Amino acid sequence: MRSRALALLLAMLFADRLIAQSPGDGHVAGGAYVNAYFRFSYVWPKILQPVDPSSLNLPHTASQKEFLLFSAKQGNMPYGVILIAERLHVPGPHTSGIRDGNDFLDRVMRSWDASSPGKVLDRKHLLGGNGLTFDELDYLQNDEYNSALVTQIGEFLLAFRCNSKTEAGLREMGESVLASSVVSAVARR
């Protein structure tokens, strides 16, 4: 059953790639988030349900360098997964552009302040199950387990932010991210 669903997703990616124009060209289909622009798919864990990203209370970025792609929550709790695409090497008003996954994770740690410091649990570079490489930062902040996982596709970083009340929930979310796949490692330009 799972292989049939994956075959359907891959067929949809090939069909959608003909019309993909923007990093935001993604949708939920068959239990997965599928993005034709990146030729990327992500199957979220069963503990989560997709939610409309625009319904989240997140800082708004009206730019062509960052795109909110997908979000899923754990019931009514404030835990889950958020996926953004961040264009590399685009300077902002107060920073130079993000260079790579390690630079992104360094910036996550620099964003912590004295009122809510984070405690690094683990940081690693690893190969996901489908050939994507990820940089991962696991940390504890405000009694919440968090992960930032990033992979590069073309000129973008796909950045996942996972958070959970428990280590087990965070591990399940992280494993789902590492199982993400691409049809082609080259993003459509």
Tens of pLDDT, residues 41-79: 999 999 999 998 776 665 555 566 899 999 999 999 999
Q: State the Cα–Cα distance between residues 53 and 108, nearest whole angstrom.
A: 21
Position 8 scores a pLDDT of 54
Residue 155: alpha-carbon gap to chain centroid: 15
Position 189 scores a pLDDT of 38
Q: Dig out the tokens for 94 from the structure.
A: 């107060």
For residue 142, the 8-state DSSP code is T
Confidence band for 13, pLDDT divided at 50, 70 and 90: low
Q: State the Cα–Cα distance between residues 65 and 61, nearest whole angstrom.
A: 9
Position 61 scores a pLDDT of 53
Q: Show the DSSP H helices in the chain as ranges.
A: 2-16, 101-110, 167-178
Q: Is the pLDDT of residue 16 over 90?
A: no
- DSSP β-bridge partners for residue 150: 135, 159
Average pLDDT for residues 109-114, to the nearest whole number? 93
- The count of other CB atoms within 10 Å of the CB of residue 123 is 15
Q: State the Cα–Cα distance between residues 140 and 122, nearest whole angstrom.
A: 10
Between residues 189 and 139, the one the model is more confident about: 139
Q: Which of 32-36, 54-58, 107-111, 130-134 has the lowest mean pLDDT?
A: 54-58
Average pLDDT for residues 131-149, to the nearest whole number? 96
Confidence band for 14, pLDDT divided at 50, 70 and 90: low
Q: Is the pLDDT of residue 17 over 50?
A: no
Which CATH superfamily groups domain 47-179?
Answer: Mog1/PsbP, alpha/beta/alpha sandwich (3.40.1000.10)
| Average pLDDT along the chain | 85
- Hey, where are the domains in the chain? 47-179
